[in-house]
């Protein structure tokens, strides 16, 4: 239970106390600032507390946004301020400062506004939500109060709440084909006490059932799979809208939502591969793995570019200016969003193709579409980077280094590389990655040259990180490493040409990709990268690449399949145990939740 302390003389007929109770607050009334401080001290230290002016007039949703959002330690709207347990000390200090200024008597000015201002002057970050058309004010006289009440009556609080439950930036398919009704599903869930995490789990289960239907290899199974995949996406949109509608944000929920999105899509790829084999013995595992590799590399490009420029200074370029100008023309916004094939358009395409064509056609079209989207987005970001006069920070350089995922072997060469001058980091990463993938592709299975190329790759991986990654194109280093590691596993498994090798490779890349996505979500959440002991335990990206190359050279094709399976299981167990432990602990500690407000590719 949270506590709200009303300050000042209560206004007859005001619905304020009832509104606060509907938001879960235990309401107490203070006659002056000194009394408010006494009531504040009596509130248990583990509870959220709000100080609200008794003269407040406004929408209930304005109070909800200003007083109950779990993402912020302190927040305020005109006439009300709230603090979570972590900011209670600052709130108490600000209240004492205000009480000393006013002599312990509530003045005609709003006391909560004075408290919020005092907290901000003390370097406390007080979140002030954008209320839009919602009303939140403290009228000084009966006429102003009457005008404020009329303004409240003129705006439909619930309509605003439903509208703002939808992401501020979404794809065309999501905006026009899903959100018009999924927001009402979110409200239905909220009124029945369902949580976003429960809806997220339902979305995952629906997608897994869809993958199972696709795996049957029958036309009925393929049609059912397409329908269920779309239903899973509706639920995927609903969970975020439910979180925004009811402000049920959580650290664990943000992680589950992001992680399950990847798990659903990649499990569906596996279902298509199994379905093709069951339908007509068509082996499309290489296509399924290729689609996963391409999609994961696209995401790494997005994450690396954004992290490199997250807090860069002088972060402008002619290319960015042209992009902003194009966005000012309505139809170009939707065309540009559709070109990048975001999750809504991508899942809709997969669902339709699954229902009416074959798994092979579905995966081929998916790979072509994702490849074109990757070329478009990467080319644009390269142009922006080359024309942008930006100074990147140490934090950005560290984030890129963490995303690189170098292990012990590469790190030893990183130390040596600091003593000399070498080619730019992206060139080293590209040359090393291209060498190992090309040698694996153009030599026979078991060739020792693959190991030689892997050793060269280890050396170049270390040298690429010899200097802080602050150059314009250094954000390309992590994507090059991902393409090299995943591509090597894919090519060597295909070269083995034995039953089970590609499914085992699919499992290994899935486990490693989970680790890389988990790294991204920790960095985005401000928690930093996974501990170095975890990276060392699973070998680092260059160590795993070398191990796979050695296995392909020294083992028979059958034993190579077993080795890939064992490595996949080992990596999955280590990263899952550590990841789940971390996120559960972060949830218990009340770490801030990071929810994406734009649709990822």
Per the DSSP assignment, residues forming a β-bridge with 416 are none
- In this structure, the answer to whether residues 445 and 380 fall within a common structural domain is no
- In this structure, the answer to whether residues 378 and 401 fall within a common structural domain is no
- In this structure, the answer to whether residues 219 and 363 fall within a common structural domain is yes
Assign residue 474 the CATH number of its domain: 1.20.120
Cα(90)–Cα(92) distance, integer angstroms:
5
Burial of 530 (0-12, 13-18, 19+ CB in 10 A): buried
For residues 346 and 269, the answer to whether their CB atoms sit within 8 Å is no
Residue 309 lies in a domain: no
For residues 576 and 515, the answer to whether their CB atoms sit within 8 Å is no
* pLDDT score at 433: 97
CA atoms within 13 A on the CB side of 454: 25
Residue 599 lies in a domain: no
CA atoms within 13 A on the CB side of 122: 20
Residue 304 lies in a domain: no
Cα(349)–Cα(371) distance, integer angstroms:
15
Cα(272)–Cα(267) distance, integer angstroms:
9
Residue 87 lies in a domain: yes
Residue 290 lies in a domain: no
**What sign has the CA pseudo-torsion 421, 424, 429, 434?**
negative
Residues with Cβ within 8 Å of 164's Cβ and at least 6 positions away in sequence, in order, are: 132, 244
- Which two structure tokens, joined as six digits, stand for 243? 């979180």
* pLDDT score at 324: 60
Q: What are the DSSP calls for 162-178, one per residue? A: HHHTS-SB--HHIIIII
Residue 450 lies in a domain: yes
The alpha carbon of residue 273 and the mean position of all alpha carbons in its chain are separated, in whole angstroms, by 28
Cα(171)–Cα(168) distance, integer angstroms:
10
- In this structure, the answer to whether residues 88 and 230 fall within a common structural domain is no
Q: Which domain, by its residues, includes 345?
A: 167-282+316-389
- In this structure, the answer to whether residues 363 and 438 fall within a common structural domain is no
Spell out a b/e string for 377-395, using b for 16 or more CB atoms within 10 Å of the CB, else e: bbebbbbbbeebebebbee
List average pLDDT for each run of 10 residues in the chain, which is 601 residues long: 88 92 94 84 91 95 95 94 93 84 55 91 90 94 93 95 90 93 97 96 98 97 98 97 93 89 96 97 97 96 91 60 60 82 96 98 98 94 85 90 95 77 89 97 96 97 93 96 98 96 98 96 87 95 98 97 97 96 84 52 49
- In degrees and rounded to multiples of 5, residue 136 shows phi and psi of -150, 110
- In this structure, the answer to whether residues 538 and 549 fall within a common structural domain is yes
| Continuous segment of H or E residues that includes residue 377 | helix 359-387
Domain-ending residue, one of 160, 180, 206: 160
* pLDDT score at 600: 44
- Which two structure tokens, joined as six digits, stand for 486? 């995943």
Three-state secondary structure call for residue 575: helix
Domain-ending residue, one of 389, 417, 442: 389
CA atoms within 13 A on the CB side of 32: 10
Cα(262)–Cα(209) distance, integer angstroms:
15
**What sign has the CA pseudo-torsion 400, 403, 409, 411?**
positive
Nearest to 601 by CA among 435, 387, 321, 371: 371
Domain-ending residue, one of 357, 374, 389: 389
- In this structure, the answer to whether residues 324 and 427 fall within a common structural domain is no
* pLDDT score at 415: 76
- In this structure, the answer to whether residues 214 and 232 fall within a common structural domain is yes
Residue 375 lies in a domain: yes
Residue 15 lies in a domain: yes
Residues with Cβ within 8 Å of 456's Cβ and at least 6 positions away in sequence, in order, are: 432, 435, 436
C-alpha to C-alpha distances, 342 to 372, 437, 458, nearest whole angstrom: 12, 28, 34
- In this structure, the answer to whether residues 384 and 396 fall within a common structural domain is no
- In this structure, the answer to whether residues 195 and 339 fall within a common structural domain is yes
- Other CB atoms within 10 A of residue 291 CB: 26
Assign residue 138 the CATH number of its domain: 3.90.550.10
- In this structure, the answer to whether residues 335 and 230 fall within a common structural domain is yes
- Which two structure tokens, joined as six digits, stand for 121? 């002057």
Task: Provide the pairing of β-strand 74-77 with 80-83.
Answer: antiparallel
Count: domains in the chain: 3
- In this structure, the answer to whether residues 121 and 6 fall within a common structural domain is yes
For residues 491 and 477, the answer to whether their CB atoms sit within 8 Å is no
């Amino acid at each position: 239970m949270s506590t709200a302390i009303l300050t000042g003389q209560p206004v007859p007929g005001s619905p304020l106390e009832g509104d606060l109770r509907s938001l879960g607050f235990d309401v107490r009334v203070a006659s002056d600032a000194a009394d408010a401080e006494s009531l504040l001290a009596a509130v248990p230290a583990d509870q959220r507390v709000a100080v609200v002016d008794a003269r407040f007039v406004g929408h209930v949703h304005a109070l909800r946004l200003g007083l109950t959002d779990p993402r912020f330690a302190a927040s305020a709207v005109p006439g009300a301020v709230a603090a979570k347990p972590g900011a209670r000390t600052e709130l108490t200090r600000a209240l004492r400062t205000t009480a000393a200024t006013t002599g312990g008597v509530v003045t005609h000015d709003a006391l909560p506004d004075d408290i919020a201002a005092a907290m901000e002057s003390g370097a406390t970050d007080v979140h002030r939500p954008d209320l839009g058309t919602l009303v939140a004010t403290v009228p000084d006289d009966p006429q102003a109060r009457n005008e404020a009440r009329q303004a409240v009556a003129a705006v439909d609080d619930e309509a605003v709440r439903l509208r703002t439950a939808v992401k501020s930036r979404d794809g065309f398919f999501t905006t026009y084909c899903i959100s018009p009704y999924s927001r009402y599903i979110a409200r239905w869930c909220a009124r029945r006490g369902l949580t976003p995490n429960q809806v997220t789990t339902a979305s995952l289960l629906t997608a897994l059932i869809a993958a199972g239907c696709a795996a049957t290899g029958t036309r009925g199974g393929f049609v059912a799979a397409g329908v269920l995949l779309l239903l899973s996406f509706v639920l995927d949109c609903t969970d975020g809208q439910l979180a925004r509608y009811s402000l049920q944000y959580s650290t664990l929920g943000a992680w589950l939502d992001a992680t399950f999105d990847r798990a659903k899509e990649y499990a569906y790829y596996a279902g298509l591969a199994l379905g093709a084999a069951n339908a007509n013995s068509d082996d499309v595992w290489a296509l399924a793995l290729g689609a996963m590799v391409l999609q994961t590399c696209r995401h790494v490009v997005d994450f690396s570019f954004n992290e490199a420029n997250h807090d860069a200074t002088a972060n402008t370029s002619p290319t960015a200016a042209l992009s902003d100008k194009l966005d000012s023309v309505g139809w170009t916004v939707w065309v540009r969003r559709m070109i990048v094939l975001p999750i809504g358009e991508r899942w809709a395409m997969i669902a339709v193709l699954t229902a009416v064509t074959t798994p092979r056609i579905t995966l081929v079209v998916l790979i072509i579409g994702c490849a074109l989207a990757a070329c478009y987005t990467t080319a644009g970001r390269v142009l922006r980077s080359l024309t942008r006069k930006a100074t990147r920070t140490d934090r950005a350089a560290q984030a890129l280094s963490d995303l690189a995922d170098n292990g012990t072997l590469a790190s030893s060469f990183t130390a040596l590389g600091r003593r000399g001058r070498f080619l730019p980091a992206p060139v080293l990463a590209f040359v090393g990655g291209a060498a190992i993938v090309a040698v694996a592709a153009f030599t026979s299975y078991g060739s020792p040259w693959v190991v030689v190329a892997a050793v060269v790759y280890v050396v170049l991986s270390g040298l690429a990180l010899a200097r802080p990654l602050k150059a314009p194109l250094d954000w390309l280093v992590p994507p090059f490493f991902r393409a090299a590691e995943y591509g090597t596993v894919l090519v060597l498994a295909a070269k083995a040409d034995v039953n089970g090798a590609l499914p085992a490779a699919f499992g290994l890349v899935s486990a490693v990709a989970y680790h890389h996505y988990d790294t991204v979500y920790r960095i985005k959440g401000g928690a930093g990268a996974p501990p170095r002991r975890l990276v060392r335990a699973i070998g680092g990206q260059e160590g795993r690449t070398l191990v796979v190359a050695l296995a392909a050279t020294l083992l028979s094709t059958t034993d190579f399949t077993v080795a890939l399976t064992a490595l996949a299981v080992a990596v999955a167990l280590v990263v899952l145990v550590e990841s789940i432990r971390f996120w559960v602990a972060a949830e218990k500690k009340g770490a801030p939740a990071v929810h994406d407000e734009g649709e990822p590719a």
